[in-house]
Structure 1
Amino acid sequence: MFSERIVKSLASGSMIRAMFEQGNALKKLYGPENVYDFALGNPDLEPSMEIIKRMSELASQPDIHKYMPNAGHVDVRQKVAEFMKRKTDVDFEAKHIIMCTGAAAGLTITMNSLLNPGDEVIVIAPFFGEYRAYVTQYGGVIIPVKALPDTFQLDIEAIDQAITAKTKAIIINSPNNPSGAVYSEEDLVRLNSVLLGAEAKYGQPIYVVSDEPYVKVSYDDVVIPEIAAIFDNAIIVNSFSKSLSLPGERIGYVAVNPLIKDSDILVDALIYSNRTLGFVNAPSLFQKLVAEHLDDVVGLDSYKERRDVLYKMLTDIGYECTLPKGAFYLFVKSPIADDGLFCDMALRHNIVVVSGKGFGYPGYFRIAYCVSMQQITGSKEAFKALYEEVMGK
């Protein structure tokens, strides 16, 4: 009766959202102050007062609520292009920028523009689970390649072995959700060499789709390599959900490397996809807003403090994890082999975390620390009791 593809997808669903709903159910039973919900990467920090004030000012400007070109306001696209050029030394122009309703929409229109049925897209596990839907809904085939254990850095040899004549793209997400890993420039340069070799072998380009919502959320003076400066066939997808604490406003952009062959056709395809998939255009007011805050980030010191406190707290208890260099997640090794069972056991202690299976990397669980410090410190005894239960102490 309904779409078989969608009904099948509902059965697998989003593990993150499922745990989020579990958390809400627990809060109704025990009160929100007694539940330690680390499921969703939903920043608890408010946007800056400067941004909130500017929203109000923009809302009353003439023509701000009217249609604009499907790719976005031309002046906004120009500012984003100048920002990208300054960051990467690549000659971006306004025509290479498409404003979109967040990174999810940006990835969706990118896959729609790139893929033919049967085309393969390599993703690096652990990866954001919705990548599966973004790829398969347009006839693509997702090819997970596991990152190196513990460090979660790129396994270049494994990626090389996964490339076939059907490989159309690879999705890069650094800083990574859920591991917080930042891929090294050395590995990215090696990856570029592998992709160039495969392109020569198979006679077709392999596009590097860089999903960058956490690119400004990094710690310890780590340098985030510029994907567009390394890969000629790069398509950058960015969002302001995390950097400006605007996840509900759905605003981001796609930047097409001008060095891509027939980049003008790709840009036209992205604009067409933006319109016909029902997004039409990115929110007008928020386009204007983010154009004034391209270099800004909200709450970085606060996130770092939370990371440090949570990491020490968990490792002191006995949990094992790698200190993340970016994003706002800890990807923790499950004390038992079945991470799904561990997450179910955690619920009995009013702890809500997400199984690594949902990210294509079993044996781990994700904790989102974009929550209050009070929740982090308050969860200590619950995490300790959980650990002692699973370890039989």
Structure 2
Amino acid sequence: MVSEKMYALGTKKSTIRTIFEFGRQRAAEVGEENVYDFSIGNPNVPPPAKVNQTVIDILREMDACAIHGYTVAPGDITAREAIAANLNGRFGINYSGKNLFMTSGAAAALTICFKALTLDNGNNEFIAFAPYFPEYKCFVESVGASLRVVSANRENFQIKFDEFEAMVSPDTRAVIVNSPNNPSGVVYSEETVTHLAKILTEKSKEYGHPIFIISDEPYRELVYGGIEVTYIPKIYSNTLVCYSWSKSLSLPGERIGYIAVPNEIADFGRVYGAIAGAARILTHVNASSLFQRVVARCVDEPANVAAYEKNGNLLYNGLVEAGFECLKPQGAFYLFPKALEADDYAFCERAKKYNLLLVPGTDFGCSGYFRAAYCTSEDTIRRSIPAFKKLAEEYK
């Protein structure tokens, strides 16, 4: 009567969402202030004041039918030109509006890219590096392809190149890169990206077709300590960049982002056309007309990096003091510490006794760890540290 796959996706929620909803229930029982919810990456920093003012300005200045009407499928050309100019100034590239396709956030951008690159006949594989955002599997499988995962380099969460190189096959359509990474907070070094590009260049030549990089970049602006995030198309031309303003401008509910297609990509016209076609069948008529115009005017607004960096350092120091092993965050707003027992699900379940809501690392393809999203209030983090210490004491 209905698709069993779709039924399963609709009735079995992600672990992250399940924990988040448990937190809402628990808050009603014991009080919001007594629940330490580190489950979901929902920004706690408000959007820059300019965003709200821009919404008001647009509503006052523009014709209502234009504001709320359709744009062309790739997006409002004025908005795309403004975004292209920003990217050119930051990265020394040469984009125009024709290089951008506006989307309803990064999730739509990723799924469109997967669909666009999946061949009509034959096997189709995409490769991710653990730890990875668990929805990748759902997105990839939704277009009839399969996701292969390179196991985690637990020393520094860079790439296990020997394992990766052996995994690449003639069926590989693209490799997903997420830097800064969700859940580890690690930024791939330029050396890592350069080595990845070298392997893909060689494999593309060997198999007689391009193997693309899909660069998932919603956390690009959230980096700490002077670390720079490599702009991958400058190193590897066959790269599609999927971006969202959900994190940088704190607009996750507005669902606004883009796909960038470099001029140098193999067969630009066919790739861009396939992206447009994939968006069409995925019912992506156009991204929000209003918020295309909002982000175009706010594209130069800086992210509130200082607030997240302060939170990250506060939680990191507290966890290390409590006895946890963890890499110091380089970007995004997540920590990915080792759990205090091999069974990360059991560990996260035990943490609930102290109203600590954490996500098991197994869901990110890396067992024995847990993710803590520190995009929450500084006060919540401070008050959670004694709870983490009590949890740690149980394992001593």
Equivalence for 1:90: 93
Q: How does 1:199-214 map to 2 (within 5 A)?
A: 199-214=204-219
> Is 1:387 equivalent to 2:392 in the alignment?
yes
- Aligned partner of 1:168: which letter? R
- Aligned partner of 2:165: which letter? D
Given that residues 97 and 256 in structure 1 are in contact (C-alpha distance below 8 angstroms), is that contact kept between their aligned partners in structure 2? yes
> Is 1:100 equivalent to 2:103 in the alignment?
yes
Q: Please state how far the C-alpha of 1:44 moved relative to its aligned partner.
A: 1.0
- Aligned partner of 1:85: which letter? N
Spell out, residue by residue over 1:68-87, the C-alpha distance to the aligned partner (whole angstroms, 9 max, x if none).
10110001111222222333
User: Which consecutive aligned stretches of 4+ in structure 1 deviate over 4 angstroms post-superposition?
Assistant: none
Equivalence for 1:302: 307
- Aligned partner of 2:161: which letter? I
Q: Please state how far the C-alpha of 1:51 moved relative to its aligned partner.
A: 1.4
SS in 2 for 1:333: coil
May I ask how many residue pairs the two structures share in their alignment?
391
Q: Please state how far the C-alpha of 1:295 moved relative to its aligned partner.
A: 3.1
Given that residues 221 and 303 in structure 2 are in contact (C-alpha distance below 8 angstroms), is that contact kept between their aligned partners in structure 1? no
Equivalence for 2:80: 77
SS in 2 for 1:379: helix
Q: Please state how far the C-alpha of 1:203 moved relative to its aligned partner.
A: 0.7
Q: Please state how far the C-alpha of 1:11 moved relative to its aligned partner.
A: 6.7
- Aligned partner of 1:45: which letter? V
> Is 1:324 equivalent to 2:329 in the alignment?
yes
TM-score (norm. length: structure 1): 0.97
Paired with 1:161 and 1:248, the residues of 2 have a C-alpha distance of 39
Q: Please state how far the C-alpha of 1:149 moved relative to its aligned partner.
A: 0.9
> Is 1:376 equivalent to 2:381 in the alignment?
yes
TM-score (norm. length: structure 2): 0.96
Equivalence for 2:244: 239
- Aligned partner of 2:115: which letter? N
- Aligned partner of 1:293: which letter? C
Paired with 1:103 and 1:297, the residues of 2 have a C-alpha distance of 19
SS in 2 for 1:64: helix
Equivalence for 1:48: 48
Paired with 1:8 and 1:164, the residues of 2 have a C-alpha distance of 30
Given that residues 128 and 149 in structure 2 are in contact (C-alpha distance below 8 angstroms), is that contact kept between their aligned partners in structure 1? yes
Equivalence for 2:273: 268
Spell out, residue by residue over 1:121-145, the C-alpha distance to the aligned partner (whole angstroms, 9 max, x if none).
0001101000001111111110101
Spell out, residue by residue over 1:214-257, the C-alpha distance to the aligned partner (whole angstroms, 9 max, x if none).
00000000011111111110000000000001111110000012
SS in 2 for 1:237: strand
Q: Please state how far the C-alpha of 1:351 moved relative to its aligned partner.
A: 0.7
Equivalence for 2:133: 128
Equivalence for 1:340: 345
> Is 1:4 equivalent to 2:41 in the alignment?
no
Identity across the alignment (%): 39
Paired with 2:199 and 2:6, the residues of 1 have a C-alpha distance of 35
Q: Please state how far the C-alpha of 1:270 moved relative to its aligned partner.
A: 1.5
Q: Which runs of 5+ in 2 are unaligned?
A: none
- Aligned partner of 1:165: which letter? P
With 122-131 and 261-270 compared, the bigger mean Cα shift is at 261-270
SS in 2 for 1:168: strand
Paired with 2:193 and 2:152, the residues of 1 have a C-alpha distance of 13
- Aligned partner of 1:318: which letter? G
Given that residues 240 and 262 in structure 2 are in contact (C-alpha distance below 8 angstroms), is that contact kept between their aligned partners in structure 1? yes
Q: Please state how far the C-alpha of 1:10 moved relative to its aligned partner.
A: 4.8
Q: How does 1:245-260 map to 2 (within 5 A)?
A: 245-260=250-265
Paired with 1:237 and 1:387, the residues of 2 have a C-alpha distance of 39
SS in 2 for 1:84: helix
With 259-268 and 169-178 compared, the bigger mean Cα shift is at 259-268
Paired with 2:262 and 2:286, the residues of 1 have a C-alpha distance of 21
Cα RMSD (Å) of the superposition? 1.3
With 55-64 and 321-330 compared, the bigger mean Cα shift is at 55-64
Given that residues 118 and 139 in structure 1 are in contact (C-alpha distance below 8 angstroms), is that contact kept between their aligned partners in structure 2? no
